[in-house]
Amino acid sequence: MQTFQAASKPIQPLINTFKKLFVFPLNLSNILLLLARAALLLCLVASMLLAIHSAFISDPRRFILPRRTRTAVSEPDAHTSDAATNISHIVFGIGASVQTWEDRSLYTHLWWDPNRNRGFAWLDGEPRKTQLVPYRVSGQCSGPDYSCKSAAVRMARIVVEGFKLGLKNVRWFVMGDDDTVFFTENLVSVLAKYDHNQMYYIGGNSESVEQDEMHSYEMAFGGGGFAISYPLAAQLVNVMDGCLQRYHFFYGSDQRVWACISELGVPLTRERGFHQFDIRGKPYGILAAHPVAPLVSLHHLDSVEPLFPNKTRIDSLKLLMEAYRVDSSRIIQQSVCYDRRRKWSVSVAWGYTVQIYPFLVTATDLEIPFQTFKTWRSWSNRPFSFNARPVSADPCWRPVVYFLKGVQEVDTRGTKTSYERFVTKDEKVCDRQDYSRVMAVKEFTVSSMKMDTQLWMKAPQRQCCEIMDRGSDDNMWIRIRKCRKGETITT
């Protein structure tokens, strides 16, 4: 009795809190509140379980060897030739569901060209409206421990179902989510580098180390999209169902596909232009200092802030696409140069943004993305799978930033893009005199020749830029071009 009473004392406040939380008249708003709390609790428990699951992943996984069956080996595509890979050789498989497709197809509509693209959105049922993007309804499947009722299983089988359609002249199957935006011209440039008659698995992993740790560094994250060559897809067809059973405990469809490809012994070929965008906040830093590689995809655009200030997500993408359509290879490619007279540093991400510093900053720093974002899962400041530098709290250390305003074709071979400053009312501005001089630059003009897609077949190199004398105090003008032989940034 004594002990019971002693124990009940500290419990009493708990019970009171519980009563406050859960005992109330059952009106609509209280029920909604209760439901919201329950959902929150469920989410917390689910993410804890997931974390615990991954923490104990170090024990080796065991499995039962299936009976050996002789599977027919699919013939390699009889129509392959040595001609360069183009868009007609790619079959897209977009993982979608009827419930989300209506809203999210907006993203696919940004890049899908019905006259040039082949492939399907794979849905879990018939959509209500007519569709711009061709679709298929995923087939049923089930086996020990798995079923196509699970979205992850259904979507993992897209490459198999796509293969079984038996389309002609296919070299690559490219998977993406319904919220992936592909830059198809650049996708072609990347795939054209590889021999489609061999087994390739091409993509990128997550920006957030916590995601790579939880899933795998070796896997292509599905939202950024990945490409599977025809012969690899042919092998996957034979082993997929066994993999779905053996890896039924995995989280997503991309992880299941990776597991199956791992069994075949094919590693991931990383390409830096696939962007899963497992980040929160502004993607600005990544896009303003992209590696020297073509931009292939963007993802999670619903979760990050719009790419341009004072523009919606979709309008931002439309503006970026406008520049992309004029010079696809060059989109967001970075160039850096110095104004020797004024001792300024300039960094351009073509078709997106310009940064000017009224002092000289080393090229190695200019190449490091500003950390304008946080990690995906825990919203932390680090770590990322690449270097990022913090944005200084002191405006006198930050660059003055310009955003794309307009794109213009100059005859058929050249372009002119303009960039302007966007100032929010509450933005802190450095009041030093050198900053005022930069601030006097109202508009920034960049001229360049269109970049030859064939350049991506060669050794990568950042292109050079030079400050043109033609500019005036309020309009700075630069030209981007191939570097001359022996040219360096400081000479």
Ligand X SMILES: *[C@@H]1O[C@H](CO)[C@@H](O)[C@H](O)[C@H]1NC(C)=O
Residues that bind ligand X (CB under 6 A): 81, 83, 86-88, 310
Q: Residue 88 or residue 131: which is nearer to ligand X going by CB? A: 88
Residues 6+ apart with CB under 8 A from 327: 350, 351, 415, 448, 450, 451
Q: For the chain, how big is the Rg over CA atoms in Å? A: 26
Q: Residue 110 or residue 422: which is nearer to ligand X going by CB? A: 422
Q: Residue 88 or residue 303: which is nearer to ligand X going by CB? A: 88
Chain CA centroid to CA 436, Å: 36
Minimum gap (Å) between residue 116 Cβ and ligand X:
7
Minimum gap (Å) between residue 90 Cβ and ligand X:
10
Minimum gap (Å) between residue 423 Cβ and ligand X:
7
CA distances from residue 274 to 90, 112, 201, 260, 464 in whole angstroms, order as listed:
16, 17, 13, 21, 24
Residues 6+ apart with CB under 8 A from 149: 142
Minimum gap (Å) between residue 427 Cβ and ligand X:
10
CA proximity to 476, closest of 420, 407, 410, 414: 420
Q: Residue 105 or residue 316: which is nearer to ligand X going by CB? A: 316
Minimum gap (Å) between residue 439 Cβ and ligand X:
15
Q: Residue 160 or residue 192: which is nearer to ligand X going by CB? A: 192
Distance CA 315, CA 300 (A): 16
The verdict on whether omega for the bond into residue 383 sits within 30 degrees of 0, i.e. cis, is: yes
Q: Residue 284 or residue 384: which is nearer to ligand X going by CB? A: 284
Minimum gap (Å) between residue 440 Cβ and ligand X:
18
Minimum gap (Å) between residue 87 Cβ and ligand X:
6
Phi and psi at residue 315, to the nearest 5°: -65, -35
Q: Residue 70 or residue 425: which is nearer to ligand X going by CB? A: 425
Tokens standing for residue 73? 């080996």
Q: Enumerate the H helices of 227-361 as residue ranges.
A: 230-246, 253-263, 284-288, 313-326
DSSP reduced 3-state for 443: strand
Minimum gap (Å) between residue 421 Cβ and ligand X:
10
Q: Residue 87 or residue 449: which is nearer to ligand X going by CB? A: 87
| Strand-pair partners of 419 | 404, 444
Distance CA 315, CA 299 (A): 16
First-to-final CA distance of the chain:
88
